[in-house]
Amino acid sequence: MTTSTKGLEGIVATQSTISSIIDDQLSYVGYKIDDLAENSSFEEVIYLLWNLKLPTAADLEEMKNALADNMEIPDAIIDHLRSYDLSTVHPMAALRTAVSLLGLYDTDADVMEPEANKQKAIRIQAKIATIVAAFSRIRNGQDPVKPKKDLGYAENFLYMLNGKKAEAIEIEAINKALVLHADHELNASTFTARVCVATLSDIYSGITAAIGALKGPLHGGANENVMKMLTEIGDEENAIPYIEEKLNNKEKIMGMGHRVYKNGDPRAKHLKKMSKELTKLTGQEKWYNMSVKIEEYVKENKGLPANVDFYSASVYHSLGIDHDLFTPIFAVSRTSGWLAHILEQYDNNRLIRPRAEYTGPELQDYVQLTQRG
């Protein structure tokens, strides 16, 4: 049997046509992330990931309408969100549970035909944004806001979150973040989703499992922890001494470096640009300036450039979004990729069942209970 690799690093576990990371270049179905981030709406990217081609104008309109038509969530989900202990529950735990519960209200949840799964994908992608926004408002003592069918996905999310029309730059920032986080090859949560549905479990189980994996601070929780770090630093002059102390104590600097990229995360520069614009617009430039200082210092001293989580933190903060909502917003975006991989897994399924390299004791003789010392 082949010797194990810790964390499956370097192991190719499957073939996929959805996204790739080759020579530090991320692409979705062969389209560079830079081109998509600068030119595409999130709805276009959803269509691309699920259909492996860019949409025509008619295709895109159909996708937008389908998402808008399915954004409302059952009242039972709202009531369930209200029942949580809102003083202690983390939004990712709430989201994980709500998505699982959502499956109970879908009469086609266990129907496995391709078209049924495609329709469920639409419903899940549409509703997950509504769940995050509803939870945020409920815990702040506000009533959830219903989506508007004439708004695009990013704008609808901000409208449901804040209860008012968003500014153009805010919509651009959220749309760009959704595009950049949509898929990332066989990351931990995507692999989790594929392992789950490879048993022919239903699509809701796959998304719920993926949310559970994304919840961890070494995956989706990084951007929340970046903002926690920036808040602890407080002022620009404290940035380098704070980071020096962390590095001297051999502590991890969240948002720096990446397991896959050797020369830098290609997504980071897009959110770095948005961070600069938004922090200037909102009079919070210290968060951007502080981030640049940290990035430059860590890169020079540890050879670790910033990843996509690093600047998404100050972008979301500048939009007035609660810090513990950063990872749920990541989930809203990554659901598009999870669904693409789930559909791909269903299309050419084989149970995912790797082996483990055993490192325990050799075979032993069983000793009866009365003879054990």
Residue 351: burial class (beta carbons within 10 Å; 0-12, 13-18, 19+): exposed
Residues 193 and 204: their CA atoms lie apart, in Å, by 10
First vs last Cα of the chain: how many Å apart? Answer: 36
Residues 279 and 168: their CA atoms lie apart, in Å, by 15
Task: Please report which residue ranges of 3-90 form alpha helices under DSSP H.
Answer: 33-39, 42-51, 57-69, 75-83
Residues 351 and 347: their CA atoms lie apart, in Å, by 12
Copy the structure tokens of residue 309: 């989580």
Say which residues have a Cβ less than 8 Å from residue 138's Cβ, sequence separation at least 6: 78, 81, 82, 86, 144
Total number of residues shown for the chain: 373
CB 306 within 8 Å of CB 272: yes
CB 332 within 8 Å of CB 177: no
Q: Cα–Cα distances in Å, from 148 out to 65, 67, 77, 312?
A: 11, 11, 19, 26
Secondary structure letter of residue 115 according to DSSP = H
Shortest CA distance to 325 belongs to which of 183, 177, 121? 177
Copy the structure tokens of residue 138: 């409920």
The CA-based dihedral angle spanning residues 293, 296, 299, 304, taken in that order and rounded to the nearest 10 degrees: 60
Largest CA distance in the chain: 78
Residues 298 and 302: their CA atoms lie apart, in Å, by 5
Place of tokens 């050879």: 303
Which are the catalytic amino acids?
258, 309
Secondary structure letter of residue 31 according to DSSP = E
CB 43 within 8 Å of CB 129: no
